[in-house]
Amino acid sequence: MKKTINIYPKIILLLGGLVLGLTGCSKDDDSTNKTEDIITSQSLKMDLTQLKKENAGVFMQAFYWDVEPKGEWYNQISTKIEEYKAAGVNRIWLPAPGKGASGSFSMGYDPSDYFDVGEFDQHGTIKTRFGSRQELVDLIQKAHANDIEVIADIVIGHNSGGGLQANPFRGGTEVYSLFNESNGNASGKFNRTNDHFHPNDIHNQDDSNLFYAETDLCHDQPYVQDWLWGRDDSVAEFYKKTLGFDGWRFDYVKSFDPKWVKAWNDKIGGFSVGENFDGNQQVLKDWVDASGSPAFDFACFYRLDETLDRAKDLTALGEADNMLRKLDPSKAVTFTANHDTEKDKNPDNRISYGNKLLAYSYILTHDGYPTIFYLDYEAFKGQLNTLIQIHNTLAVGDIEIIEANKDEYIMKRKGNGDNPGLILYMNISKQPKQRIVKTNWINKTLVDYTDNSRATPTTDADGNTTLYAPAGGYAIWSITK
């Protein structure tokens, strides 16, 4: 359905019978941006610093797989703390700090000595891949001075790097289950034997998946519970009270019962999030209910990957209850990439580079707690800073999906109090789009706070107006000052 619309500098709306309920027919928009439109739209924007919402902030995954240079990562992140604060980051997630079996090559997911965070000479190195204990403490203190919490990656499902030991519950087969001062545990704290792994005198395995079965920690053993979180000098207490960590990212929670996450958090406290690597939203909801902890919203991640990359159809974004954030937004930590997805060679397990910003426009305008991936931030810093500011200010109020079709997704945040909220317009077609929508704003001039569109449409007495989205892009609309 075609209709002539003049976009300079305000939109003249010819509504009549074109308004059908909340939306009208969309059409390709072949308008171009003019210099006067750019000047006008920028000068009309509200001062968003005056609209900072309660509990504002985003989560920064401050590492990627195989970070370089070895031994200097803490120092590198330390140089970025002020930048993260200015952007609106309120937490950073660091890799597992303990010494791994692969020494200076370890990304922390082969834990050997939880208490060696870069001070004992073992596995061929004193520093971890990320740095020394003092450099870690310095980074945490700098983050705290800038009102940023620091979250530790916690790998408590399995261990690596111990000495060989015959396991009678495996018919005498030798496995690497001996951890002491001479075998991968130079700190001498939380020494372990085959009694503390599966199988043992309690059971063959717990109710969850075995991961590295020969050295799968048995959390039903009181000794393991005590050293991980129960004792005053436990791993958790050391990380929180001595090193200064503020919370936890629990790695691969499918390998142990969610009640152990609850027990850890009940004893230690702090923010936490679990990595339940599952695209089924109900699996995620069941886990957060059992653990009491938020979880990464893999269901949201896979819906974005599906709609943007595989199906190239945004319709599924409008479906009910197909993400954790739709079932329980208070427990959903949303993301578009992490260290695992970015190194996965399967394109179905990662969002393509060309669609990253579309995915971020979604998670940074919807509910849930959004995560920014280090490499994405470095690649799209300007655009992400804008989206983070929008998230921390305008992304408030109830969510209403206005349109979800093959090419377009339009969502409204209704705002609250003096905060007007926003409208997100995503368009994955190869042509610019425009659509008549019903807003909550009466007789107001609007502007795209991402500057992806320079139009300045005006709503009528019923709140109707025409909004725009660029080809293969997005716009985020709200009222002017």
Residue ranges for the known binding site are 213, 226, 232, 407
- Among the listed residues 135, 251, 278, 403, the single catalytic one is 251
Q: Distance between CA atoms of 158 and 117, rounded to whole angstroms?
A: 18
Q: Is 181 a catalytic residue?
A: no
User: How many degrees, rounded to 5, is the angle at CA 391 between CA 385 and CA 397?
Assistant: 165
Contacts of 223 (CB under 8 A, 6+ apart): 195, 196
Q: Which two tokens stand for residue 362?
A: 């979604």
Contacts of 80 (CB under 8 A, 6+ apart): 62
- Among the listed residues 206, 275, 297, 448, the single catalytic one is 275
Of 351, 411, 418, which Cα lies nearest the Cα of 22?
A: 411
Burial level of 36, CB count in 10 A (0-12/13-18/19+)?
Answer: exposed
Q: Which two tokens stand for residue 357?
A: 């910003």
Q: Is the peptide bond before 329 cis (omega within 30 degrees of 0)?
A: no
- E strands of 155-308, at which residues? 163-167, 173-178, 247-250, 271-274, 295-296
Q: Distance between CA atoms of 189 and 113, rounded to whole angstroms?
A: 8
DSSP tag of 293: S
- Which residues contribute to the annotated binding site for Ca(2+)? 213, 226, 232, 407
Q: Is 251 a catalytic residue?
A: yes
β-pairing, 473-479 with 446-448?
Answer: antiparallel
Contacts of 20 (CB under 8 A, 6+ apart): none
Of 429, 399, 419, 395, which Cα lies nearest the Cα of 411?
A: 399
Q: How far apart are the first and last CA of the chain?
A: 33
Residues forming the active site: 251, 275
